[in-house]
Structure 1
Amino acid sequence: MSKYSDIVDFISTEIDNGSIKHGEKMPTIRELSHKFSCSKQTVVHAYDKLQKDHIVYSIPQSGYYLVDKKDLHIDKIKKIIDFSTGSPDESILAYEEFQHCLNQAIDIHKATLFNYSDPKGLSELISTLKNYFEDYQIFCSTNDIFITSGSQQAINILCSMPFPNGKSTVLVEQPTYHGTLKALETTKTSVIGIERNFNGLNLEELEKKFAYGNIKCFYTIPRFSNPLGISYAVEEKKQIVKLAEKYDVYIIEDDYLGELEIKNNEFPMYYYYISSKVAYIKSFSKVLLPGLRVAAVVLPKVLRNTFEEYKKWMDLNTSVLSQGALDIYIKSGMFKANRNRIKTIYSKRMSSLKSASHKFDIPNIKWHIPDTGFYGCIEFLDKLNLDWLVKECGKKDIIIKEMHENYLKDYFNNDFLKISVGSSRISEIENGINELLKIVKKYYHRQTL
């Protein structure tokens, strides 16, 4: 467990046992820094977390204080269980480790910080990523790699820029990542969908859309999809790439959770490409720090110049400090160690979700839970009022959300509910799913009366 988490747990325990009372000043940043042998910034991050949870508040030039429970009109501070978010758990992020890398990056790249840099990205990081990608069976040259300000920027550029095939429509899986749908909406890019469910993708339908849909690119999340958590089988990946080659369609592969893969011989779609048809996007938000805003995209040669031109006039260059720190973090071996730690955590959380899902026998629902990742899914075999379910869960401080934002208008399906374990600990998963299933069971019981 990180020092950040240790501090949060220590403060929470002190509050629970009455050692810290309302009106009394909390331990100072200096005191906690000394007690836990950590940086002051780590303590600040811990207090930020406690503030977001409405447990403490700060007074400038004075310090931190315990929130008065009477002011909240509740008997105790309740823990919100959020099954809706795609954000990672703040308590397991490597703040302290990465801070050292930031400090080193300032010393190494201080001259560059005062000037504009190459819009393509920091050359040192690009070289490091070339080697890093080989662990994922992504074999490319440094010329193929571009650094972007988060994966969202890579998606925005690729969806809006012209492609050599001269086509204009983007094909997306249904459902898919809502950030991509918003990017297409705001750029007024032509878009059509294709259903992807727990039986996979209809390859005959895909071929028809590739052949007659004026498709310039197909945006896909091959593994641990957002929001359903499903992954393509190896043969599906090969067939999709083969069809893309046949009909001159480019594939935009968003591998946002590739670091969580626990199966051997499960490679990105990029690995199976026959010719230069796959652009591979790698985010570092889920396993490192969301606020880092650094991602990488591996591009076919024919897309490089156009992509670089769009990138340059979108932000001139991605933060040199963030790039430099990430380069140091990967080279030091800390990233790999952190990746293995995060992989274990989310594998255990998904196992916990599987275990919790078996506690109630409800014939009206079917669970779809992968071995790892952020998302599992409930399929409602009999119709259920999701608006009602959202409100009832809210009364128990459990956040769930229907998936309108993940669908194009003509594809919306209200038979599914995503369950994210991204920011929930094992105890919260167990308790939250237990309460959720009680509510679901009660609903179906009432329907039979």
Structure 2
Amino acid sequence: MSKYKDIVDYIIDEIDSNNIKFNEKMPTIRDLSEKFNCSKQTVVHAYDKLQKEHIVYSIPQSGYYLVDKKEMHSKKANKIINFAAGSPDESILPYEDFQHCLNQAIDIYKGTLFNYSDAKGLPELINTLKTHFQDYQIFCSSDDIFITSGSQQAINILCSMPFPNGKSNVLVEQPTYKGALKALAINKTPVIGIERKSNGLDFEELERKFANDNIKCFYTIPRFSNPLGLSYTNDEKKQIIRLAEKYDVYIIEDDYLADLEYRNNSYPMYYHDISSRVAYIKSFSKILLPGLRIAAVVLPKILRNTFEDYKRWMDLNTSVLSQGALEIYIKSGMFKANRKLLKQTYSERMNEVKKICSESHINNIDCHIPETGFYGYIEFLKGVNINLLIRECNKKYIYIKDLKDDYLNDFFSNDIIKISVGCSGIDEINKGMSDIFKIIQNWY
């Protein structure tokens, strides 16, 4: 467990034991740093967490103080359960480990920090990723890999740049990641949708669109899709690739949650691609730190020059410090250790959602909950007022949301709510999901 979490737990225990009292100054950053043998930044991060939960407050040049006990208990009693967020759980992210890697990166790459670096990415990180990607069944050369400032930049570039097929439209699943829809809208890229349901795509419709709609590329999230949590089978991935080859369409594969995959025989689309159609995007936000803003793209040779040109004149180069720290983090073995923890954590959380859904016994709803990942969803099979459900849940400090931002206008369906377990522990999931089903049972 991280020192950051140990500090938070220690302070909570001290408060519950009445060793820290209202209006008394909290332990100093220096004292806690020495007590837990950690950096001062780790202590600051722990106090930031406690401030967000309204347990402590800070006074500049003075320190941290305990919030009034009555107010604190009120906040605790009404703790927010957030099933709407797409961000990972802060308490299990490797802040302290990664801080050590940042410090090492400053020493190793200090000369590079003061100069522009290669737009393609730090060579040391690229070579490390070439080996690292073999764990995902991605076998490529270093020449194929480009580093971007997060997956959002990779999506922006790929959706806006010209492709060798000379076509202009981008096809997207419906619903899909809202960041991709925003990128397409901002870049004024023509976009077409295709519905993706729990039973997959309509492949006849996909073929018609590939054949007739001037599709340059198909943006897809094959596994643990955002926002529904759906995954294609290997056969479905192969079928998409065959159609892409037949109709000269490229594929943008966003594999943002590959690290949570537990099935040994589930491969990315890139693995099945023998015709150089797939551009593979791997983000590190969900398993590492959202603010790191590092992603990698594995490109077919024919796309490399255009992509690099767009990348160079978009930001010149991605942060060398972040790249260097990630390279050290992967090579040290810390990445694999943390990935194992996260796979177990999110599998347990999603299984808790599945258990509660299976016990609900409510007619006219379907629960589509995967074995792991961040997202699942509840589908209402007859008319329902989603906005009223959202308001009723908010009264109980449970945050859910509709999927309006994840759809193109012509596809929006207001009979679905997504359930994200990114920020919610087992106890919160148990309480929050049980309360949601009680609300539904009362008026559905």
Corresponding residue of 1:314: 314
Query: 1:399 offset after TM fit, Å?
Result: 0.6
Residue 402 (str. 1) matches residue 402 (str. 2)? yes
Residue 427 (str. 1) matches residue 427 (str. 2)? yes
| Aligned residue identity for 2:438 | K
Corresponding residue of 1:15: 15
**5 Å matches for 1:187-226?**
187-226=187-226
TM-score between the two structures when normalised by the length of structure 1: 0.97
Which contiguous aligned blocks of 4+ residues in structure 1 show a shift greater than 4 angstroms?
69-77
Corresponding residue of 2:106: 106
Corresponding residue of 1:363: 363
**5 Å matches for 1:410-421?**
410-421=410-421
Corresponding residue of 1:447: none
The more displaced of 292-301 and 59-68 is 59-68
| Aligned residue identity for 2:224 | F
**5 Å matches for 1:6-45?**
6-45=6-45
SS at 1:49 equivalent: helix
Q: Does the CA contact (< 8 Å) of 1:151 and 1:295 recur in 2?
A: yes
Query: 1:75 offset after TM fit, Å?
Result: 6.8
SS at 1:197 equivalent: coil
Q: Does the CA contact (< 8 Å) of 2:283 and 2:295 recur in 1?
A: yes
Corresponding residue of 1:156: 156
Corresponding residue of 1:305: 305
Query: 1:73 offset after TM fit, Å?
Result: 11
| Aligned residue identity for 2:264 | N
Q: Does the CA contact (< 8 Å) of 2:147 and 2:297 recur in 1?
A: yes
Change (3 A) 1:75 1:322: closer
The number of equivalent residue pairs is 444
| Aligned residue identity for 2:218 | F
SS at 2:64 equivalent: strand
Q: Does the CA contact (< 8 Å) of 2:55 and 2:72 recur in 1?
A: no
Change (3 A) 1:90 1:76: closer
Whole-angstrom CA distance in 2 between matches of 1:12 and 1:151 = 37
Corresponding residue of 2:324: 324
SS at 2:136 equivalent: coil
Query: 1:421 offset after TM fit, Å?
Result: 0.3
Corresponding residue of 2:286: 286
**5 Å matches for 1:102-181?**
102-181=102-181
Whole-angstrom CA distance in 1 between matches of 2:166 and 2:259 = 34
Corresponding residue of 2:57: 57
Corresponding residue of 2:80: 80
The more displaced of 397-406 and 76-85 is 76-85
Whole-angstrom CA distance in 1 between matches of 2:186 and 2:75 = 45
**5 Å matches for 1:330-345?**
330-345=330-345
Corresponding residue of 1:443: 443
Whole-angstrom CA distance in 1 between matches of 2:17 and 2:189 = 57
Change (3 A) 1:412 1:117: same
Q: Does the CA contact (< 8 Å) of 2:78 and 2:396 recur in 1?
A: no
Whole-angstrom CA distance in 2 between matches of 1:17 and 1:440 = 39
| Aligned residue identity for 2:159 | C
Residue 259 (str. 1) matches residue 259 (str. 2)? yes
Change (3 A) 1:436 1:211: same
Whole-angstrom CA distance in 2 between matches of 1:36 and 1:168 = 57
Whole-angstrom CA distance in 2 between matches of 1:18 and 1:433 = 33
Measured against aligned partners, the alpha-carbon deviations of 1:333-358 in whole angstroms (never above 9, x if no partner) come to 11011111111111111111111223
Whole-angstrom CA distance in 2 between matches of 1:57 and 1:269 = 49
Q: Does the CA contact (< 8 Å) of 1:245 and 1:274 recur in 2?
A: no
Whole-angstrom CA distance in 1 between matches of 2:71 and 2:263 = 49
Query: 1:82 offset after TM fit, Å?
Result: 0.4
Whole-angstrom CA distance in 1 between matches of 2:140 and 2:230 = 27
Query: 1:359 offset after TM fit, Å?
Result: 3.2
Whole-angstrom CA distance in 1 between matches of 2:14 and 2:228 = 39
Whole-angstrom CA distance in 1 between matches of 2:75 and 2:112 = 53
Q: Does the CA contact (< 8 Å) of 1:242 and 1:274 recur in 2?
A: no
Whole-angstrom CA distance in 2 between matches of 1:64 and 1:171 = 51
| Aligned residue identity for 1:131 | T
Q: Does the CA contact (< 8 Å) of 2:224 and 2:374 recur in 1?
A: yes
| Aligned residue identity for 2:384 | L
Q: Does the CA contact (< 8 Å) of 1:69 and 1:77 recur in 2?
A: no
Q: Does the CA contact (< 8 Å) of 2:54 and 2:75 recur in 1?
A: no
SS at 1:154 equivalent: helix
Corresponding residue of 2:91: 91
Q: Does the CA contact (< 8 Å) of 1:379 and 1:415 recur in 2?
A: yes
TM-score between the two structures when normalised by the length of structure 2: 0.98
Whole-angstrom CA distance in 2 between matches of 1:73 and 1:45 = 22
SS at 1:135 equivalent: helix
| Aligned residue identity for 2:163 | F
Whole-angstrom CA distance in 2 between matches of 1:165 and 1:348 = 44
| Aligned residue identity for 1:242 | R
Whole-angstrom CA distance in 1 between matches of 2:231 and 2:71 = 47
Query: 1:18 offset after TM fit, Å?
Result: 3.1
CA RMSD of aligned residues (A): 1.4
Identical amino acids, percent of aligned pairs: 72
Corresponding residue of 1:373: 373
Whole-angstrom CA distance in 2 between matches of 1:21 and 1:156 = 51
Query: 1:264 offset after TM fit, Å?
Result: 1.2
Measured against aligned partners, the alpha-carbon deviations of 1:89-147 in whole angstroms (never above 9, x if no partner) come to 00000001111100000000000000110010000000000001111111111110000
| Aligned residue identity for 2:245 | E
Corresponding residue of 2:239: 239
SS at 1:251 equivalent: strand
Whole-angstrom CA distance in 1 between matches of 2:110 and 2:348 = 41
Change (3 A) 1:157 1:361: same
Whole-angstrom CA distance in 1 between matches of 2:427 and 2:113 = 44
SS at 2:329 equivalent: helix
Corresponding residue of 1:391: 391
SS at 1:417 equivalent: strand
Return 5+ residue gaps in structure 2 as ranges.
Answer: none
